[in-house]
Structure 1
Amino acid sequence: MSAQRACSASELEQDTPLRVELDGVPIAIVRDSNDEIHAIGDTCTHGEISLSEGFVEGDTLECWAHGSAFSLRTGVPQNLPAYEPVPVYVVEIDGDDVLIDPTVTKDVS
């Protein structure tokens, strides 16, 4: 599969997650305070909660229900109760289009 259009960059508000679904894969897209665009799995690994309903703080996205914050760069939870990371997807920008391939995750090791 190849990258597909997830949204336009211009519709992303700073520090406000946007939930998209690509081929059945829920993804949270975030434009951080440094104007970088990130894409991580939208489901908290502690519970079936949409992370895009949470809060962006620095380079993390916090689950509103249980408080676990996930790194936008690595997907690794920064605190309990979550201990499993969420996937992080490669983001490509083509003009104003944000492109993501939901079958390819970043190697963050």
Structure 2
Amino acid sequence: MTPEELRAHCLAKPGAWEDQPWEGDHVAKVGDKIFAFMGGTTVGVKSGASRAEADEWLLQYPEDASVMAYIGRSGWNTLRIDGAIPDGEIREAVDDSYAMVVAKLPRSRRPT
């Protein structure tokens, strides 16, 4: 998967839009919440409801998955898109992150 393919996949989600909240950092948001940090050859995603659940990625892909700085304790991981993780699993991780973030939005702000 290329960074462009990752970006296209993220932004194809209902209500998704790209933002640059910090110089040089591109993110995909739904509503006002980030669901993917798009960082060139990596993507940061909400990988589980808890750190323990998100740690499954670290066990399965120790060379290509890591805990995100600052927000990792809340279940966010960084996944390499040019490593051993299959493209389908990267897409699924983005889809799951999107679904978790949308579920936390107030019903009135969820995309239809």
Q: Tell me whether the two structures share a fold, i.e. TM-score over 0.5.
A: no
TM-score by length of 2: 0.28
Instruction: Pick the structure with more strand per residue.
Output: 1
Instruction: Pick the structure with more helix per residue.
Output: 2
